[in-house]
Amino acid sequence: MKKLALFFAGLSLFVATGCNNDDDNTMEYPIVGTWQPIKKVVTTVAIGEDPVSDGISFDTDCQKTSRWVFAASSGKRTDNGDGTSPGTCQPTFDRNFTYTYDKDTKAIQVKYQGIVEPDKGSVVTLNETTLNIKFEDTSDPTEYQSTTYTLKRIPQ
């Protein structure tokens, strides 16, 4: 009888601890880090016209040195292009920014130093290696425009 009681006690313990539905396999990755832009897609939809998308790859040697650095609530964006002399690079956009990011809604707002209106959008993808951010411009009621950046995390 003791063996049977021990068996049921062990079985109950196994059932109680063996299956845990509280595990959440979704991993949250931080936006904080250094990111290299890979491409940008600009989509424009005007009333009464077909949507137009234009993809731009950051594939020249100079463009590959571009960086977006996110710290806790601020950062710096530097986009580089070919310089005037062969083999040299020069910044085409070099600004500090502050940002807010809501992990639950994926909303992001980036305000660049010296620019009044913030960029408002959403984080479409954020994982260990990739960050996709879509900024939307709805200021013109006759035209919608979005710019989606694909960035690759640069290990520190």
Token pair 């979704």 in the structure block, residue: 26
Task: Summarize pLDDT for 54-104 with one digit per residue, the tens.
Answer: 999 999 999 999 999 999 999 999 999 998 888 899 999 999 999 999 999
**Mean model confidence pLDDT for the chain:** 87
Cβ partners under 8 Å of residue 20, min gap 6: none
* The model's pTM: 0.79
Write out the DSSP string of 9-46.
HHHHHHHHHH--TT---PPP--S-EEEEEEEEEEEEEE
